[in-house]
């Protein structure tokens, strides 16, 4: 006989259902153009659910997201919408940034077509919430946090917006007439909402709503002072959390750490949620407990004890190459340039 949940638990569930009904026209929105980013969207969705959001969850997907991944997304998100992939075609700037993959991020503009919602918060699939952030819906379009690379620009990984077909068409027209100064969606959105830096300070989200992994190391004292209050972590850079290897037996992240750009503690939290919740959902959908797209089970004797994407071993970096990676925000943050090593140098310098 199934036991009834405690009254307090039932009250919490009822309260959450009532809130979801009240805010039925508001949603957190993300984008997955392929299976890899679908993994990130799944972790983001589950992290929002774990922190008891009262808003709906919606994900835009591209045609390259496979059926097993779509099925799991349907289990996590209230709405899964297939959209066409937009591409800036700005190869010059994308090459300059060494990020040719960013062209398809213009597909993000489709979020303005979700006009059955009155207000939304967009979050990149490489973000993860660390606490409830429903208060973001108290902000107006276009509210966003400053980008660590150029603080007079906002980072487009987290922003508040109001869906509108009129705005969507204006954005497309802007793309056609002006392009993007960085080849991606961030250049488009900063060009279009070009008074963000000066017009209304209430549209400047605190940095803790979009804590850039790169900024942790560029201003370590501030991270030590305020980092514990972070609400959203953003895994910036080319190497994403799903690009690593994770050993569930010892709960360690391994793999090619040369291009890492995040704090290991955040990576561990991402992988813990991914391995405990998302991987079983993917395996169940595929009908194979050892299945995991893009990853390999090293030891079938222990099930999914080690999940990873393999990377070739890289030769040691010269001091000049290491300097260049620092300047590009791609330092070896889990190795030679780890948080602990930087802290030791900083403490030594302060003494």
DSSP string, 93-108: HHHHTT-GGGGGGGGG
pLDDT at 140: 98
Residue ranges in the chain modelled with pLDDT below 70: 1-21, 87-105, 255-262, 287-351
- State how far the Cα of 259 lies from the Cα of 44, in Å rounded to an integer: 22
Burial of 32 (0-12, 13-18, 19+ CB in 10 A): buried
Q: Give pTM, 2 decimals.
A: 0.78
- State how far the Cα of 242 lies from the Cα of 265, in Å rounded to an integer: 15
pLDDT at 272: 94
Q: Where are the domain boundaries for CATH 3.90.550.10 in the chain?
A: 7-214
Do the beta carbons of residue 162 and residue 201 sit within 8 Å?
Answer: no
pLDDT at 253: 83
Q: Angle CA(229)–CA(231)–CA(234) in degrees, nearest 5?
A: 115
pLDDT at 328: 47
- State how far the Cα of 216 lies from the Cα of 223, in Å rounded to an integer: 6
State the DSSP code for 110.
G
Q: Closest Cα to residue 314, out of 264, 269, 260, 262? A: 260
Q: Angle CA(158)–CA(160)–CA(166) in degrees, nearest 5?
A: 120
Do the beta carbons of residue 27 and residue 111 sit within 8 Å?
Answer: no
Q: Under 8 Å CB-to-CB from 69, ≥6 apart: which residues?
A: 32, 35, 38, 39, 282, 293
Q: Is 260 helix (H, G, I), strand (E, B) or coil?
A: coil
- State how far the Cα of 291 lies from the Cα of 47, in Å rounded to an integer: 23
Strand-pair category, 26-32 with 150-161: unpaired
Q: Closest Cα to residue 152, out of 102, 105, 110, 194? A: 194
Peptide bond into 142 cis (omega under 30): yes
Q: Closest Cα to residue 311, out of 325, 336, 294, 324? A: 294
pLDDT at 346: 59
Do the beta carbons of residue 117 and residue 60 sit within 8 Å?
Answer: no
pLDDT at 338: 59
- State how far the Cα of 234 lies from the Cα of 213, in Å rounded to an integer: 6
pLDDT at 249: 85
Q: Which helix (H) or strand (E) holds 155?
A: strand 150-161
Tokens found for residue 246: 């994770």
- State how far the Cα of 341 lies from the Cα of 150, in Å rounded to an integer: 26
Task: Check the CA dihedral 113-116-120-126 and report its sign.
Answer: negative
Strand-pair category, 296-297 with 119-123: unpaired
pLDDT at 123: 98
Q: What do you get for the CA distance between the two ends of the chain, in Å? A: 65
Q: Angle CA(243)–CA(246)–CA(252) in degrees, nearest 5?
A: 125
String of DSSP letters for 44-109: HHHHHHHTT--SEEEEEE-TTS-HHHHHHHHHH-SEEEE-PPP----HHHHHHTT-GGGGGGGGGG
For 7-214, CATH number out of 3.40.50.620, 3.30.420.40, 3.90.550.10, 3.40.720.10 equals: 3.90.550.10
């Amino acid at each position: 006989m199934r036991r009834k949940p405690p009254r307090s638990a039932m009250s919490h569930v009822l309260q959450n259902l009532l809130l979801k009904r009240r805010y039925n026209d508001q949603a957190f929105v993300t984008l997955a153009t392929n299976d890899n980013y679908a993994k990130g969207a799944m972790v983001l969705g589950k992290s929002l659910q774990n922190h008891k959001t009262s808003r709906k969850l919606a994900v835009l997907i591209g045609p390259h997201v496979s059926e097993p991944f779509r099925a799991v997304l349907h289990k996590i998100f209230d709405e899964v919408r297939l959209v066409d992939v937009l591409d800036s075609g700005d190869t010059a700037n994308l090459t300059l940034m060494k990020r040719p993959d960013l062209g398809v991020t213009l597909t993000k503009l489709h979020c303005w077509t979700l006009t059955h919602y009155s207000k939304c918060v967009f979050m990149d699939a490489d973000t993860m919430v660390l606490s409830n952030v429903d208060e973001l819906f108290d902000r107006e379009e276009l509210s966003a946090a400053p980008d660590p690379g150029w603080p007079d620009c906002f980072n487009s990984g987290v922003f508040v917006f109001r869906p509108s077909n009129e705005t969507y068409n204006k954005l497309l027209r802007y793309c056609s007439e002006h392009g993007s100064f960085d080849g991606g969606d961030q250049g488009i959105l900063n060009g279009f909402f070009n008074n963000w830096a000066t017009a209304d300070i209430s549209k400047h989200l605190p940095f803790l709503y979009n804590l850039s992994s790169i900024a942790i190391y560029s201003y370590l004292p501030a991270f030590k002072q305020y980092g514990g209050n972070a609400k959203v972590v953003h895994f910036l850079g080319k190497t994403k959390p799903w690009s690593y290897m994770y050993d569930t037996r010892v709960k360690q992240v391994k793999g090619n750490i040369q291009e890492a750009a995040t704090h290991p503690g955040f990576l561990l939290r991402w992988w813990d949620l991914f391995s405990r919740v998302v991987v079983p959902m993917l395996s169940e959908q595929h009908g194979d407990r050892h299945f995991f797209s893009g990853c390999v089970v090293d030891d079938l004797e222990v099930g999914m004890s080690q999940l990873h994407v393999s990377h070739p071993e890289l030769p040691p970096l010269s001091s000049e190459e290491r300097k260049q990676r620092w300047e590009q925000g791609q330092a070896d943050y889990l190795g030679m340039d780890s948080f602990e090593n930087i802290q030791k140098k900083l403490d030594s310098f302060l003494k």
